Amino acid sequence: MTYKIAVVGLGKIAHDQHLPSIAKNPTFQLVAGVSRNSKLDNIPCFETLEGLIESKIAIDAVALCTPPSVRLAMARQALDAGYHVLIEKPPTPTIGEMFDMIDYAKAKGKVLYAAWHSRYNQAVDEAKHLLDGKDISTLKVTWREDVRRWHPNQEWIWEPGGFGVFDPGINALSIVTKILPEPIYVESAIIEVPNNKATPIAAQIKFKHADGRKSDLSADFDWRQTGEQTWEIEIATVDGMNLTLKKGGTILIVNGKTIMEAPMEEYEMIYARFAELLKSGASDTDVRPLQLVCDCFMLGRPKLVEAFID
């Protein structure tokens, strides 16, 4: 079966990842786009989701690639129209909106898929397997990148609900929540906010185990790193295993030896997973990465830093 899909929000992530991945997957046929500022060659495009719905084009699913702040209303519109929904990460600006979206999709009998793209890697899956049943003593997440490279002139990320540095940071947390054998919780955080913006440019986070046992669990997010980007997760276990995921989860090193280098096929795997969900009628809506981010904002101590000029 071929699923007819529309992409809503034709910005950088849609053009870089969603559209090419849809084109590669014979299970999907791109039939429409929605954007106020962008068009697609030989594909009908509409300025609003309402316009798409009113067009009566036959559509099975939509991929929502808009900023998170408008997704709840759009998801409800799409579900009301009978569409299944894929959501780019971060899914919503608050955990409350995410729970509402989950409940609404269930009531409508439609598939809702919160696509945490950084989880989709063979090295991440192998790390999860190796850590199964282990007692974690150390976690060090280092996620440092250049906001000017990845989000040029995107003002929404600096507004309330735009996540700031937690937009990439949530990618790390999506991996962590997948591979760790038990949940972790936010203990404290320092959140660095430019004095001319509303969302963070950096954050230093301390986590804890539920039972409070002694451990060293931390994350360092920063959007000011130029040159080579750093996306690493280092984990040590009580029984002596040292495991590192590098380059966003594509390289796995165990006790100093590289055991896997996987190709970057995150979005191709996302659409393969979406096809599986559509065939089965099941949803996939893990809220744990978003919950950790919301907890960082709740427990974090703000620190004003110098203004950021794009």
Residue positions annotated with a catalytic role: 89
Environment class of 213 (CB within 10 Å of its CB; exposed 0-12, middle 13-18, buried 19+): exposed
Degrees to nearest 5, angle at CA 222 with 221 and 226: 140
Is 20 in a helix, a strand, or coil? helix
Residues 6+ apart with CB under 8 A from 107: none
Least Cα distance to 234 among 250, 246, 247, 221 occurs for 246
Q: Exposure of 288 by Cβ count < 10 A (0-12 exposed, 13-18 middle, 19+ buried)?
A: middle
- What is the SS3 assignment for 38? coil
Q: State how far the Cα of 184 lies from the Cα of 213, in Å rounded to an integer.
A: 11
The token pair at 250 is 């594509």
- How many helices (H) and strands (E) are present in the chain, helices listed first? 10, 15
Q: Which residues pair with 243 in a beta bridge?
A: 235, 254
> CA 129 → CA 27, 123, 290, 299, distances in Å?
29, 10, 23, 31
Nearest to 191 by CA among 163, 212, 168: 163
Kindly give the interhelix angle for 288-299 and 166-179, rounded to the nearest 10 degrees. Answer: 120
Nearest CA to 29 among 280, 278, 233?
278
Whether the Cβ atoms of residue 199 and residue 163 lie closer than 8 Å to each other: yes
